[in-house]
Structure 1
Amino acid sequence: MPLLATLVDDFTDGTLDTASRWSGSYGDLTETGGRAQIPCGTGYAGLKSASAYTLAGSAVHLQIFPADPTGAASAAASVLVLSATGGTDAGFIVDPAQNAVGCYLRSGYADGGAVFLTYSPADHRWLRLREAAGTLYWETSSNGVFWATRRTAASPAWVSETGLAVLVEGHRDAGPETPIEVDNVNAPPGQAVQLTAAAVTEGARPVGLAKVRTLGVAASVIDVPPIGLRKTRTLGVAGATESAQAVGYDLTVSVGAPWSDWEVGEPW
């Protein structure tokens, strides 16, 4: 029971895989310039997978380039997940002739709750139908990375079937036949990210080295001795000198004569 997300094709090998991936296809389809091309004329042509997938807990996304609508009142590209019951399906119908994108959940080929968007070639370049935890999501993107939710609905029981198929079909009411192009079915967008210039730049050091910054001239300079030696400072001449005693002796000072003479042993 493969999930729909396992159906992957980026159309880069120049040969449309109608033997396995797109075994249900009809009409004069080609793979050219890295895209599948589906005729959009007054008849019908479709890129259709095998009926072998389930949508429950999965999704399908792709990049769509609708047909040139010149000369037509309607030139539709239908992108649908089909159930085993005809007319019971879900997905998108992109019609540049009517400048519209419809988000459909159909039963008997009808959906009274369909949601319609004004078609934008940029904003609706990518389409995704996704199921998660009992809810269906219709999503669009300009780059295949950031997605906008356009509609949600309770998942019908058929999303858990194991015989679902993906169909991209082209049809127009009038005008010359022109192709619908499809790319990157469940494949990553493969677009480069364009970065703006950095506001601040600094020279980087190789990995493992520290960044250095040149310092200005110091305001004052003191000679620093080599590591392991002490810094010395030359002292000036002392303001006063005294004779030092040998270690263990007290410093003595001569005492002058008393204010008056007293005889030893004479009472006061």
Structure 2
Amino acid sequence: MPALGTLVDDFDDGVRDPAKWPGSYGDVTEAGGRARVPCTTDYSAYASAPVYTLAGSQAACRMYAPAAGGAAVEALAEVLVLSSVGGTDAGFSLNAVTGVLHLIARTGYTDPNEVTLPYSPSTHAWVRLRETAGTLAWDTSADGATWTTRRTAPSPAWTADTNLVVILAGHRDSGTGDYCEFDNFNLLRKARLAATERTAPTLTHLARTGPGMSGG
């Protein structure tokens, strides 16, 4: 029963890791140190095995939007944690057509309490879904070090299941095919703790929620 935060990938070796992402579908690749997922009228995603729990853990990464590319309704980049029940999931869905970042916790494919944000490629560069002591939180960050909590909700019971999947996904309804990209999955930047620490921030693996994972 591994915590979701134990799944880490920097996507730097140019090859999708079949042990980490065995459920992947579509023509996903690694390029330029990122996971590259087609954003076409087909469905594509990096997808983990169904072996994780979100309880006391997280799913976090750097996310890069696709081009709208003339899509009529949606051109999506998504980071979603899926339960074993279809349409019951939580995470982030970015629509490049509308310029809206959706923070979702769906049951039966709907979320009446969905929170939406006008998407900022800088302010919302990093996204993180985390569960702590019965509370689910959606965080964003400009740099992967300092985080702002954008939504909280009571944790759905399924977040404690031990067969969850995480996907990094792309899809569009129409228009010219493009890519969405993802980087540094569960590899977050250490916040600078003192004014004398002026070197470039380093990356750290945060497997579970702790003091350093609170919203900033």
TM (norm. structure 1) is 0.70
Q: Which amino acid aligns with 2:118?
A: T
Q: Name the residue aligned to 1:11.
A: 11
Q: Name the residue aligned to 2:19.
A: 20
Matching of residue 146 in structure 1 with residue 126 in structure 2: no
Q: Name the residue aligned to 1:47.
A: 46
Q: Which amino acid aligns with 2:165?
A: A
SS in 2 for 1:28: coil
The separation in 1 between residues aligned to 2:76 and 2:57, in whole angstroms, is 26
Q: Name the residue aligned to 2:91.
A: 91
The separation in 1 between residues aligned to 2:149 and 2:66, in whole angstroms, is 24
Per-residue CA distance 1:136-184 (angstroms, 9 max, x = gap): 0000000000001110000011111000010111111111110111100
Q: Which amino acid aligns with 2:34?
A: R
* Structure 1: runs of 5 or more not aligned: 197-268
**Structure 1 residue 99 displacement after superposition:** 0.8
TM (norm. structure 2) is 0.86
Q: Name the residue aligned to 1:114.
A: 114
Q: Name the residue aligned to 1:136.
A: 136
Q: Which structure 2 residues correspond to residues 56-95 of structure 1 after superposition, within 5 A?
A: 56-73=55-72, 74-95=74-95
Per-residue CA distance 1:185-205 (angstroms, 9 max, x = gap): 00134899xx89xxxxxxxxx
Higher strand share: 2
The separation in 2 between residues aligned to 1:147 and 1:55, in whole angstroms, is 19
Q: Which amino acid aligns with 1:123?
A: T
**Structure 1 residue 60 displacement after superposition:** 1.1
Larger RCO, structure (CA 8 Å, separation 6 or more)? 2
Q: Which amino acid aligns with 1:23?
A: P
Per-residue CA distance 1:100-126 (angstroms, 9 max, x = gap): 001101000100110000000001110
The count of corresponding residues between Structure 1 and Structure 2 is 194
Q: Name the residue aligned to 2:186.
A: 186
Q: Could you say what the CA RMSD is over the residues aligned between the two structures, in angstroms?
A: 1.8
The separation in 1 between residues aligned to 2:187 and 2:10, in whole angstroms, is 6
